[in-house]
Amino acid sequence: GQNIDQPTEMTATEGAIVQINCTYQTSGFNGLFWYQQHAGEAPTFLSYNVLDGLEEKGRFSSFLSRSKGYSYLLLKELQMKDSASYLCAVRGGAGKSTFGDGTTLTVKP
Amino acid sequence: SAVISQKPSRDICQRGTSLTIQCQVDSQVTMMFWYRQQPGQSLTLIATANQGSEATYESGFVIDKFPISRPNLTFSTLTVSNMSPEDSSIYLCSVEAAGTGPGELFFGEGSRLTVL
């Protein structure tokens, strides 16, 4: 089975940096994804890691350590619009993705 | 990428009735999934919609309650049968399509069902 853990809530200040952690235990691994979901909207893709290391994409970076079952999403230069839920998802066998419960990030001025 | 249209976007239903949700994709896709997102919670996979064969259901979900059709590579339906208030949720159609990375999921806007 799949077990994915991430913090429930985080708060940060506009302009700051925030790191959202995700740990996972899975029976299969074909990549780890981060999605952003604003209230009342569908999730949208942010980042993807399949190999160990850091993937950078503008203000967003994601890190993966497969041996530790650990990932983080790093958001820099936070903006008010970054207030959203951030979902960690592991793609396993048969192309199925399992999602963590999500981390609700609140950015304050 | 993929653009997904789902309907209805929302509905209020009576206990014991059934509702069918439609999902239309603007391109042919192999992998199509149905997720449920209950209020304040994350996404739970209901089933994988397989073209030309029966859907593959996850633990806790059964075909009698959530029958799924996938007549072609661009369309699928999910029916929520004999609804109860516990079925009040957002139901999301999702497809795996070419994007930034393999396995990236694209989602429809969701169908918000309220069962009275």
Shortest distance, CA B10 to any CA of chain A (angstroms): 12
> What pLDDT was estimated at residue B40?
80
How many angstroms separate the CA atoms of B44 and B88, rounded?
14
For chain A positions 78-107, those within 8 Å of chain B (CB to CB) are 87, 89, 91, 94-102
For residue range B56-108, list pLDDT tens digits in order: 999 999 999 999 999 999 999 999 999 999 999 999 999 988 766 677 899 99
Cross-chain CB nearest to A95 (options B42, B103, B110): B103
* H-helix or E-strand spanning residue B11: strand B10-13
Measuring CA to CA, how many Å separate B51 from each of A56, A61, B82? 36, 36, 25
Give chain B positions within 8 Å (CB) of A101.
Answer: 41-42
Average pLDDT for A4-17: 97
Cβ contacts of B30 within 8 Å, gap of 6 or more: B51, B73, B96
Mean pLDDT to the nearest integer, A38-56: 93
Look at residues B106, B116, B102, B100 and name the one whose alpha carbon lies nearest to residue B5: B106
3-class SS of residue A75: strand
CB distance from A44 to chain B under 8 Å?
Answer: yes
Q: Which residue in B48, B103, B108 is closest to A30 by CB distance? A: B103
| pLDDT computed for residue B34 by the predictor | 97
Residue of chain A whose alpha carbon sits nearest to that of B112: A40
**Rounded to whole angstroms, how far apart are CA atoms A3 and A69?**
10
Q: What's the Cα-to-Cα distance from A109 to each of A16, B102, B116, rounded to whole Å? A: 10, 36, 40
Q: Is the pLDDT of residue A93 over 80?
A: no
Return the residue matching tokens 């208030």: B85
Distances (CA, A) of A49 to A45, A66, A105, B100, B104: 12, 10, 21, 11, 11
Q: What is the pLDDT of residue B31?
A: 86
